[in-house]
Amino acid sequence: MELPLLGDTLIVLVSQLIFFIGGWVFFVKQLFRNYEIRHVFVQLIFSLTLALSLTMFELIIFEIIGFLDSSSRYFHWRLGLTLLLIMVIAVIPYLIAYSCISNVRIVPAKWVQPLTTLICLCYLYGFWRIGDPFPLLSVSRGIFTIEQAVSRIGVVGVTVMAILSGFGAVNYPYTSMSYFIRPVSQSDVVNLERRLLQTMDMILVKKKRIALDRRRNKPNQKQSIWGMISSVTQRPAGAENIGQLRLEISALEELSRQLFLEAHSMKNMQERERWAATLQGKYFNVLGHFFSLYCLWKIFICTINIIFDRVGKKDPVTRGIEIAVHWCGFEMDMAFWSQHVSFLLVGCIVVTSIRGLLLTLTKFFYKISSSKSSNIIVLVLAQIMGMYFCSSVLLMRMNMPAEYRVIITEVLGGLHFNFYHRWFDVIFLVSALATIVVLYLLHKPPNVDTSM
């Protein structure tokens, strides 16, 4: 028994080392390529969280193909999940709190550690109380258990997954389909840029008039007191109406902002038109039509699931094979094809989930990071990443045949898996509909008032 466990442990450790190196390279080449790495410990935490997260997906694939001993897989499931939970619940929140407090200059150095501990205790209390409104496990099953931790992380992680999935299901067809590209001619762009330049010239002329008026009517230092009072109460002949000019400048500046945004939008549409004419653009246009149908189907299914409180009992692979055998009359080995198709399906889900999350984290990091806050943001992204992948295991269980779900059910215990699927449907539906409304408002061209 010890020899298989030792050999299987060596295999898992080697794969974790490869995942760790991949996370380290991604951190240096993607996230921090424009920043100086000031804290190597932050890089270590990010790479370790990614390695532990990918290990769970690796163990799912090992379960499907029957690689490693079953007891070894169970051991590494428990060990890897425990380490990931420690990182997400205790280590990373503590580092985030410590980094935030230490960057506050008014906080003395001797108070950083106590305040960090206090904030972490408040966080742990809030983390425990987050399960009160939801049908999670009771205290009778223990407090410091994997089941209790995963049940609460699952609420936050499934929420993040559903929001990202709802946004992506709507935004991807919108950005890749040529149907949503508004045709823009070069003459429209030239005319709009000409109107923008004319507006800027009008603003410049009016500001120049104000400056000349101030210079012309500047009070003389040798002027008497009575002359100074009269210059304030009475406007000299030929002087400009400064108040009226400022109102006109304010209106013109608002018009110039609207014209600039419209010109920028037209430029983007022209770039999308040129991209859509390429081979890559045509390929993504076809994918966009496919995902638009998927989005409509997913919204419909989520609505049905919410209204009728319905949760799928069979995974897509088993259902598809049963349809092929019983309805289409094909003769096939269900066990053989179930294993191989499940392997391909889970592999595709794993690859797309990892790629999608890392791309989203990279875009998010570039938008909000700075040289001072970059390390804190990386820790927050590591926290989100750990919760996301941990919750992916909960939802991926439904996409696996019953014989391959046993290991996940044994590790996670008596979790209410159906609750997380219903919760995902609710948040996905809200996110998708909200994204549709926002994109509809953004797609409408702004009404530019050119009456000035």
Q: Are 385 and 119 in contact (CB under 8 A)?
A: no
Q: Give the pLDDT confidence score for residue 17 in this predicted structure.
A: 93
Q: Give the pLDDT confidence score for residue 358 in this predicted structure.
A: 66
Q: Give the pLDDT confidence score for residue 77 in this predicted structure.
A: 85
- 11 pLDDT more than 70: yes
- 1 pLDDT more than 50: no
Within 8 A by CB and 6+ apart from 340, the residues are none
CA distance 245 to 419: 63
Average of per-residue pLDDT across 217-231? 55
- 214 pLDDT more than 50: yes
Q: Are 369 and 35 in contact (CB under 8 A)?
A: yes
Q: What is the pLDDT of residues 231-290, one digit of tens each?
A: 555 555 455 677 888 888 888 888 888 888 888 888 888 888 888 888 888 887 887 787
Q: Give the pLDDT confidence score for residue 451 in this predicted structure.
A: 47
Average confidence score pLDDT of the chain: 76
Q: What is the pLDDT of residues 148-197, one digit of tens each?
A: 888 888 888 888 888 877 887 787 777 777 777 777 788 888 888 899 89
pTM of the model: 0.68
CA distance 450 to 63: 66
Q: Give 295 or 449, the one with higher predicted confidence.
A: 295
- AA identity, residue 385: M
Q: Give the pLDDT confidence score for residue 65 in this predicted structure.
A: 79
Q: Give the pLDDT confidence score for residue 14 in this predicted structure.
A: 92
Average of per-residue pLDDT across 295-319? 73
Least confident of 51-65, 245-259, 325-339: 325-339
Q: Are 177 and 285 in contact (CB under 8 A)?
A: yes
Within 8 A by CB and 6+ apart from 449, the residues are 255, 258
